[in-house]
Chains A and B, each alone.
Chain A
Amino acid sequence: AAGVIQSPRHLIKEKRETATLKCYPIPRHDTVYWYQQGPGQDPQFLISFYEKMQSDKGSIPDRFSAQQFSDYHSELNMSSLELGDSALYFCASSLAVTRKGSPLHFGNGTRLTVT
């Protein structure tokens, strides 16, 4: 079965640079979520989109923005990168409404290293 695809798998940037992470959800899923996981931490929710509109917002820095496009893929844009932004970034997708619960399915993440 098709899974959530994230690109790139690894990214190395310098401080103050920008980065763009991409996420392709499971076909027919209408909701995309972004998570950040620092070393030794649990995944932290950043932001989500339903039908191309922002649906929820978590601890996403103002330097970050995201959007969902008409084909449902999503991009996380990160500017003025800081050393502390080094982390794994996961994307997940789901169906917004189902009769039997709506599990999120995660991609394998992008490992961002800021030097």
Chain B
Amino acid sequence: DAKTTQPTSMDCAEGRAANLPCNHSTISGNEYVYWYRQIHSQGPQYIIHGLKNNETNEMASLIITEDRKSSTLILPHATLRDTAVYYCIVKGNQGGKLIFGQGTELSVKP
């Protein structure tokens, strides 16, 4: 599975959009980009995933560049409860483990 690179930490003001970047320059054609978050001591929470098209659900939007070498997770209106570690993970379509690397610690401030 391809390696990802994320900033170690980010701050965001409450009510503003949080844009979390991820680089995955070695991604291969059949690999998806997954985003998870982990609020302190809770289980990792699935947010969204995509292959090449932009995706949106009730939690977030995922923007994938045309060359698929990077992506951005967008939380449109961040709240204090969105404070968490966000993980960007690349994985193939078939079943298989997720490998967690260093994520981005997002702090949403009032």
**For the complex, would chain B's binding face be called helix, strand, loop or mixed by DSSP majority?**
loop
**Is B44 a contact of A106 with CB atoms below 8 Å?**
yes
In whole angstroms, how far apart are the Cα atoms of A100 and B91 in the complex?
12
Instruction: State whether B102 touches A55 (Cβ < 8 A).
Output: no
Number of A-B pairs whose CB atoms are under 8 Å? 68
**Residue among B44, B49, B87, B95 facing the most chain A CB atoms (10 A cut-off):** B95
A45 contact set on B, CB distance < 8 A:
97-99
Report Cα–Cα, A92/B50, bound state, in Å. 20
**A114 CA / B100 CA spacing, docked (Å):** 25
Q: Which of A58-95 contact B (CB under 8 A)?
A: 58, 88, 90, 92, 94-95
What's the Cα separation between A56 and B91 when bound, in Å?
15
In the complex, A13 has a CB within 8 A of chain B: no
Interface residues on B, range: 20 to 34
Select one of B43, B49, B101, B103 contacting A106, CB under 8 A: B43
Q: A109 and B43 in contact (CB under 8 A), knowing A101-B49, A103-B34?
A: yes
Which residues of B34-58 are within 8 A (CB) of A? Answer: 34, 38, 41-46, 49-51
The number of chain A residues touching the other chain, given as a range, is 20 to 34
Q: Is the CB of A96 within 8 A of B42?
A: no
Nearest to B46 among chain A residues (CB) is: A103
With contact pairs A101-B49, A103-B34 given, residues A43 and B44 touching in the complex (Cβ less than 8 Å): yes
Residues of A within 8 A of B38 (CB): 43
CB contacts under 8 Å to A, within B52-110, are: 87, 91, 93-103
Contact: B34 with A101, CB < 8 Å? yes
Report yes or no: B93 in contact with A98, Cβ–Cβ below 8 A. yes
| Contact residues in A for B34 (Cβ distance below 8 Å) | 101, 103
Cα distance A56–B95 when bound, in Å? 10
Write 26 A-B pairs (CB below 8 A) sorted by A numbering.
Answer: A31-B95, A42-B101, A43-B44, A44-B100, A45-B97, A45-B98, A45-B99, A48-B97, A58-B97, A90-B43, A92-B43, A95-B95, A96-B94, A97-B94, A98-B93, A101-B34, A103-B34, A104-B97, A104-B98, A105-B46, A106-B43, A106-B44, A107-B43, A108-B43, A109-B42, A109-B43
